[in-house]
């Protein structure tokens, strides 16, 4: 108690000084910048609302750094200044950047019609052929021709949905656009980001987001939409009691256009392909810095995939990747030292801001100093808590190493030799496996590193683990789950979780030079902690094709193979590697009725139990292929 009282006292003593610093920075901002609000005309005549903060310093020409967003460029009014000074963005102010934020077409104060993840049009023929790349081009063109004191060099950055608009900016190829940083960019909403993972519908995020964001905006406004009135604040209880997806569609009503579109496109068809950014990353000209979090619950897939797509389709591009141990957007926060119960031993966010992002934009936009020594891939490895750099990603040194599921919960690098062996469980949609043990309302950001002991204790979760490791094992790249299964039904989901099991006597060491290089933890019991390193779901009917789903034949062995997003983690000597397999992950993902059908049209009566067999025998070895760094 004395410790907490002392800490509270220190916070109270520091608060006036912190507030004073904010006030001083705010005052400096107003004294050194002018804010303008303008409508910038696009080629088709639509005007986009744009806020521009211009340095009063006329001693030099200034670069432009822009974010395009569907989330509003508030505060509105030329006397109302955005609080850039409260974050590391204050550095850009001190560097005299022209800071620009724009409401994208059809959102907030901008004219036009909004379209979610508006497809890129590579074959524009007239002024009516527009997309987000053309809107970016037209905006940049106006800025460099009309904003006083700019140096003709423009950068674009943004997190999440603004990350998507950053990727679209890179496809505009305006000659003044020199540097782009897509950060946790929305990339493919069917295979890996936000609202679907491998075809499985990510229910909690989709419904909570579109029940407010998706509401129509008939005319420009500064007022945001009202949210959905949830009847209770127990996440698991609400989604389970609401039932089938068709019931959520009734709650949405007829006005949420993108929800209706998703319900009409249950397979990976041409509609989805047009909205997959990876298909259009050819001929990228500006320098690219893709940034993401290895524990990003929303767009982890997008960062890895955007980098790889540009690398493949624009091999001559200056293309770099940074991945830290972050939740969604944590790299832009003040504290990057921990996530949930995991401690990283250093402020990873501040290190990234000072050593990667700011030097990147300063060089390409201000031509300040020598080209920064930013590696092709800069990746933070949890477990050992170290930044590592690579000439390519995944590293050439990574070796695909199968880890085989075995009898009695064993996990081994040796292929099974038993003729007949399987481990079974019953998947009951009426009692789905929760994604976290907490009772909560909003989807948590910590579940990506949560303790999985709660799940290991359930009879519908299979647990396989290695003996205690005799040496460190480092994973560096995507993980391939290759399950051999037989089921009693015609469809099922498969969730694979890669877990780091801590020693029973584990504790965070206070010595910074200790083996784990971490700061002291909270009072949470870390001995035996089962840290989720990576988890992913696969909708079984898409096992052969996302375009043409097929049913399982009950009782007949089938292969379910899918790729989990990349891992950057070291399992330390004395730890164990654990694999958990289950068939629900609720309400993160919707429940599978476990019948082959259009799940979006399923009713409550369609949900059935299924017997799931995970085979681990000589003829049908289930394996998890790990990218082991040598």
pLDDT tens by residue, 309-325: 999 999 999 999 999 99
Model-level pTM greater than 0.85? Answer: yes
Please determine, for residue 300, whether its predicted confidence score (pLDDT) is greater than 90.
Answer: yes
Residue 507: what pLDDT?
Answer: 76
Q: Look at 542 and 86; give whichever has higher pLDDT.
A: 542
Residue 366: what pLDDT?
Answer: 96
Which stretches does DSSP call E strand in 429-506? 462-465, 473-487, 493-501
- Other Cβ atoms closer than 10 A to 442: 10
Rounded to an integer, what distance in angstroms lies between the CA atom of residue 100 and that of residue 481? 43
Closest by CA to 250, choosing from 263, 240, 232, is: 263
Please determine, for residue 12, whether its predicted confidence score (pLDDT) is greater than 50.
Answer: no
Residue 512: what pLDDT?
Answer: 41
Please determine, for residue 381, whether its predicted confidence score (pLDDT) is greater than 50.
Answer: yes
Residue 514: what pLDDT?
Answer: 41
Query: Torsion-angle region of residue 517: left (phi > 0), alpha (psi -120 to 50) or beta?
Result: left
DSSP result, 579-594: EEEES--BTTSPPP-S
Token pair listed for 93: 């102010």
CB-based contact 352:294 (threshold 8 Å): no
Burial class (CB in 10 A: 0-12, 13-18, 19+), 56: exposed
Q: Which domains does the chain have, with CATH numbers?
A: 1-135 (no CATH), 202-272 (1.10.3020.10), 398-629 (2.60.120.260)
pLDDT confidence tier of residue 372, bands split at 50, 70 and 90:
confident
CA 97, 165, 155 angle in degrees (round to 5)?
A: 25
CA dihedral sign of residues 567, 167, 162, 335: positive
- What average pLDDT does range 199-205 have in this prediction? 97
Rounded to an integer, what distance in angstroms lies between the CA atom of residue 67 and that of residue 163? 9
Cβ partners under 8 Å of residue 264, min gap 6: none
Please determine, for residue 46, whether its predicted confidence score (pLDDT) is greater than 80.
Answer: yes
Please determine, for residue 174, whether its predicted confidence score (pLDDT) is greater than 60.
Answer: yes
Whole-number average pLDDT of the chain: 94
Residue 86: what pLDDT?
Answer: 87
Q: Look at 349 and 522; give whichever has higher pLDDT.
A: 349
- pLDDT tens-digit profile of 416-472? 999 999 999 999 999 999 999 999 999 999 999 999 999 999 999 999 999 999 999
Residue 388: what pLDDT?
Answer: 98
Give the three-class secondary structure for 362.
helix
DSSP result, 411-436: EESSPP--SS-EEEEEE-TTSPPBSS
CB-based contact 629:571 (threshold 8 Å): no
Cis peptide before 394 (omega within 30 of 0): yes
Please determine, for residue 13, whether its predicted confidence score (pLDDT) is greater than 50.
Answer: no
CB-based contact 350:366 (threshold 8 Å): no
Instruction: Return the percentage of the chain with pLDDT > 90, whole number.
Output: 91
Cβ partners under 8 Å of residue 432, min gap 6: 240, 584, 585, 586, 587, 591
DSSP result, 45-97: S-EEEEEEEEES--SS-EEEEEEEESS--PSPSTTPPP-GGGSTTHHHHHTTP
Residue 20: what pLDDT?
Answer: 56
Rounded to an integer, what distance in angstroms lies between the CA atom of residue 482 and that of residue 561? 4
- pLDDT tens-digit profile of 224-234? 999 999 999 99
- Other Cβ atoms closer than 10 A to 348: 23
- Other Cβ atoms closer than 10 A to 32: 15
Rounded to an integer, what distance in angstroms lies between the CA atom of residue 517 and that of residue 503? 16
Alpha carbon distance, N-terminus to C-terminus of the chain:
48
CB-based contact 138:40 (threshold 8 Å): yes
Cβ partners under 8 Å of residue 324, min gap 6: 293, 294, 330, 331, 336, 348, 349, 352, 380
CA dihedral sign of residues 443, 444, 448, 449: negative
DSSP result, 324-350: ES-STTGGGSS--SEETTEE-SS-HHH
Please determine, for residue 153, whether its predicted confidence score (pLDDT) is greater than 60.
Answer: yes
HSE-up (13 A, CA, CB side) for residue 197: 27
C-alpha separations of 102 from 70, 105, 227, 332, 398 in Å: 8, 9, 23, 19, 42
CA–centroid distance for 120 within its chain: 21
- What average pLDDT does range 404-424 have in this prediction? 97
CA 314, 319, 320 angle in degrees (round to 5)?
A: 150
- What average pLDDT does range 208-218 have in this prediction? 95
Token pair listed for 425: 């469980």
Query: Torsion-angle region of residue 452: left (phi > 0), alpha (psi -120 to 50) or beta?
Result: alpha
Residue 21: what pLDDT?
Answer: 61
Give the three-class secondary structure for 184.
coil
């Amino acid at each position: 108690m004395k410790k907490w009282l002392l800490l509270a006292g220190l916070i109270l003593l520091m608060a006036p000084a912190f507030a004073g610093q904010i006030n001083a920075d705010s005052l400096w901002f107003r004294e050194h910048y002018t804010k303008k609000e303008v409508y910038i005309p696009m080629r088709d005549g639509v005007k986009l609302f744009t806020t521009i903060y211009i340095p009063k310093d006329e001693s030099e020409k200034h670069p432009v750094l822009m974010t395009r967003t569907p989330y509003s460029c508030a505060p509105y009014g030329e006397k109302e200044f955005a609080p850039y000074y409260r974050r590391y963005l204050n550095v850009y102010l001190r560097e005299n950047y022209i800071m620009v934020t724009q409401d994208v077409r059809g959102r907030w104060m901008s004219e036009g019609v909004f379209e979610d993840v508006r497809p890129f049009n590579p074959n524009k023929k007239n002024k009516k052929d527009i997309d987000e790349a053309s809107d970016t081009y037209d905006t940049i063109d106006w800025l460099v021709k009309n904003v006083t004191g700019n140096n003709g060099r423009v950068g674009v950055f943004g997190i999440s949905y603004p990350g998507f608009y950053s990727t679209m900016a890179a496809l505009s190829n305006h000659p003044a656009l020199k540097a782009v940083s897509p950060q946790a960019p929305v990339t493919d909403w069917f295979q890996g980001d936000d609202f679907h993972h491998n075809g499985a519908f990510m229910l909690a995020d989709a419904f909570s987001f579109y029940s407010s964001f998706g509401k129509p905006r008939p005319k420009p406004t500064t007022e945001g939409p009202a949210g959905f009135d949830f009847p209770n604040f127990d996440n698991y209880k609400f989604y389970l009691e609401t039932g089938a997806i068709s019931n959520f569609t009734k709650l949405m009503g007829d006005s949420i256009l993108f929800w209706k579109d998703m319900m009409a496109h249950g397979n990976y068809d041409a509609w989805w392909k047009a909205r997959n950014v990876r298909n259009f990353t050819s001929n990228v000209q500006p320098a690219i810095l893709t940034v993401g979090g290895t524990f990003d619950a929303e767009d982890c897939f997008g960062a890895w995939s955007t980098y790889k797509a540009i690398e493949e389709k624009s091999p001559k591009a200056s293309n770099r990747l940074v991945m830290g141990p972050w939740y969604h957007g944590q790299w832009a926060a003040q504290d990057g030292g921990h996530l949930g119960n995991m401690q990283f031993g250093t402020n990873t966010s501040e290190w990234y801001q000072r050593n990667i992002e700011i030097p990147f934009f300063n060089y390409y936009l201000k031509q300040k100093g020598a080209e920064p020594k930013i590696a092709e891939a800069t990746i933070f490895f949890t477990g050992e808590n170290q930044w590592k750099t690579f000439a390519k990603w995944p590293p050439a040194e990574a070796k695909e190493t199968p880890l085989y599921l075995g009898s009695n919960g064993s996990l081994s690098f040796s292929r099974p030799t038993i003729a007949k062996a399987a481990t079974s469980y019953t998947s009951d949609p009426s009692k789905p496996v929760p994604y976290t043990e907490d009772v909560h309302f909003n989807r948590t950001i910590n579940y990506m590193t949560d303790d999985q002991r709660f799940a290991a204790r359930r009879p519908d979760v299979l647990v396989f683990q290695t003996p205690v490791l005799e040496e460190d094992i480092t994973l560096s790249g995507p993980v391939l789950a290759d399950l051999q299964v037989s089921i009693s039904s015609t469809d099922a989901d498969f969730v694979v979780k890669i877990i780091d099991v801590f020693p029973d006597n584990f504790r965070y060491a206070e010595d910074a030079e200790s083996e784990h290089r971490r700061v002291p933890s909270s009072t949470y019991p870390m001995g035996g902690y089962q840290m989720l390193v990576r988890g992913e779901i696969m909708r079984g009917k898409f096992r052969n094709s996302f375009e043409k789903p097929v049913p399982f034949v009950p009782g007949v062995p089938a292969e379910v193979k899918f790729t989990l997003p990349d891992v950057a983690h070291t399992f330390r000597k004395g730890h164990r590697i654990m694999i958990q397999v289950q068939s629900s992950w609720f309400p993160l993902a919707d429940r599978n009725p476990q019948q082959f059908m259009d799940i979006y049209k399923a009713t409550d009566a369609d949900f059935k139990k299924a017997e799931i067999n995970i085979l681990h025998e000589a003829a049908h070895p289930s394996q998890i292929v790990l990218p082991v760094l040598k």
